[in-house]
Amino acid sequence: MSLPTPLTQHIARRPQRIALLQHVAEQGSITRAAKAAGISYKAAWDAIDELNNLASRPLVERSTGGRGGGGARLSQEGERVLRMYQRLQALQAQFLEAADASSDLDLLGRLMLRTSARNQLQGQVSGLRREGRHDRVTLALGGGLEIDALITHDSTERLELTLGTMTVALLKAGWVRLLAIDEVAQAGSNCLHATVEDVLTEADGPGEVRLALGNGQTLCALAEADWLAAQQIETGQTLRAQFHPSYVLLGVPA
């Protein structure tokens, strides 16, 4: 059975992110793993950040200072997920044989949507409080970290959110603001302490700062190149990342 090319690419794109773990295990380096996967170093780390954030524990552990951008290896959880993916590949082959028509796969493609939000943080609802027409939803991210999301009461009901519900918080990198050392955080906003893991600058446009949270998850933020230079932002530095609860979008499994 032949599948439409766009659909084939859509189905393959997600598994490739998990298959990247195989390259990391084989190559011991993000740079070499990215080359083996045929993607850029930045795209490889974006994929790994997403996988680490959505997993209960980080899947890839990085060591800085090595040749070719530093070394990397799979954690025990990463090895377990890789074995699970390999079993899934076998099941996927059986599924493709059993599908009645390509329309079955088209339907699944519509249901399994991707998002443009760079930051995807898994958390558990630890608090729900009504504030007028909105609900303030507190998410426990693990490691003692919490963030708030401000959504309509209708959204709370539609998502069937209750204490203990596992959710994914979506947040665009452009909505995350880095604070200067002497800058006071805005009242009512989320403010997380994080360590600078990487700084990527462009000749034209804002730079991207990858931040490591204390619980092993990663947060990406955008900042103007002039600000980054003035603040002397560099790897290993501790920063505060601020974002308003209304910018946090919530998602739950369908």
What is the model's pLDDT at position 136? 96
The pLDDT tens digits for 221-230 are 999 988 998 8
- Amino acid, single-letter form, for residue 32: R
3-state secondary structure of 174: helix
Q: Which of 192, 158, 200, 159 is nearest to 41 (CA)?
A: 200
Which contacts of 99-104 are long-range, i.e. CB under 8 A and separated by 24 or more positions?
99/1, 102/1, 102/3, 102/4, 102/7
The contacts of residue 45 (CB under 8 Å, 6+ apart) are 30, 198, 210
Determine the average pLDDT of the residues in 46-51: 84
Helix, strand, coil percentages for the chain (3-state, nearest 5): 40, 30, 30
The pLDDT tens digits for 101-126 are 555 555 555 555 567 778 889 899 99
Residue 162 has pLDDT above 90, yes or no: yes
Residue 252 has pLDDT above 80, yes or no: yes
In the chain, the domains with their CATH numbers are 5-111 (1.10.10.10), 115-254 (2.40.50.100)
The pLDDT tens digits for 121-140 are 989 999 999 998 899 999 99
